[in-house]
Structure 1
């Protein structure tokens, strides 16, 4: 299997997506979303990633982030959260979800029993103010486009509130535009 043609450019914010295998709605469980948030807070606190925007949906999340080693940090994030999600599912006897994650695991992943995330994150470097603003608007309006809320400020798992003088759930690093 060849390497992805998608590449991270150091120092630039990137738009990226992490998708649950087969678009399973695992992230509709708030306890599993908290695993993602705890990991992102850890990466922020240890200055390993700067989060500029995000939205968590039931089966994927979009991030706008930057780091000197963004590719490595996203790989670490996905690996850690996958292991933590599987551990939580096992501890809470969620056999239906575990069966699904085992079924959709790629055949070449011999060292693991389950796969939580689809491979890749399709990073897109945001090189201009216009690109950044377009992607941030896309991120914040994702729940509206999906028909879950009428106003993006009503979606709990988004950085929208941070950009509108309200307190969000994750630390956001605002870019000088």
Structure 2
């Protein structure tokens, strides 16, 4: 992962995390690719005690408000696993344009892969109060509304907004409201 001014200093707080595809590629427009990320997050919830407070997947990035002792390792694992799954999927569907763009995006010094799927880093921003947590949850949930994809946050399938209205979404979350 790249160097970042954002770091997890105190693991007992939740953090707002954001991960984006290189060049803003709209890979999450494919439901199969969204499912890779959801399954990876679920794995870390059950195997590594990742607590998810809110989440939202957009066409080219995802937001996660989460808490875990070692978020850096957790996010590296999620991104590494999903990158492999995404590349396998793109190859199986012969999506050559995407594959060429991901090959072009590879950092020069990286020898372990021909492709780069994710932008480096995940920008952890510590959330130290309940007021800020509520603000960040609203920010995450209103992402698809601001983009004009839905009128109400709970109408977006790939988000935890429904959970906060008493429904159930695609991931288990730690509701705070």
- Band the TM-score falls in, shorter-chain normalisation: over 0.9
Q: Deviations over 1:50-98 (max 9, x none)?
A: 1110000000000000101111101111111111111111122111111
Q: Deviations over 1:85-124 (max 9, x none)?
A: 1111112211111111111222222220111100011110
Shift of 1:3: 2.8
Q: Within 5 A, what are the aligned runs for 1:30-109?
A: 30-109=31-110
SS class of match (1:162): helix
Structure 2 unaligned segments of length 5 or more: list them: none
Number of equivalent positions: 176
CA RMSD of aligned residues (A): 1.5
Distance 1:25 1:7 in 2: 27
SS class of match (2:55): strand
Distance 1:160 1:3 in 2: 32
TM-score (norm 2): 0.95
Corresponding residue for residue 127 of structure 1: 128
SS class of match (1:12): coil
Which contiguous aligned blocks of 4+ residues in structure 1 show a shift greater than 4 angstroms? none
Distance 2:160 2:13 in 1: 19
Shift of 1:48: 3.4
TM-score (norm 1): 0.95
Corresponding residue for residue 3 of structure 2: 3
SS class of match (1:73): helix
Distance 1:42 1:122 in 2: 21
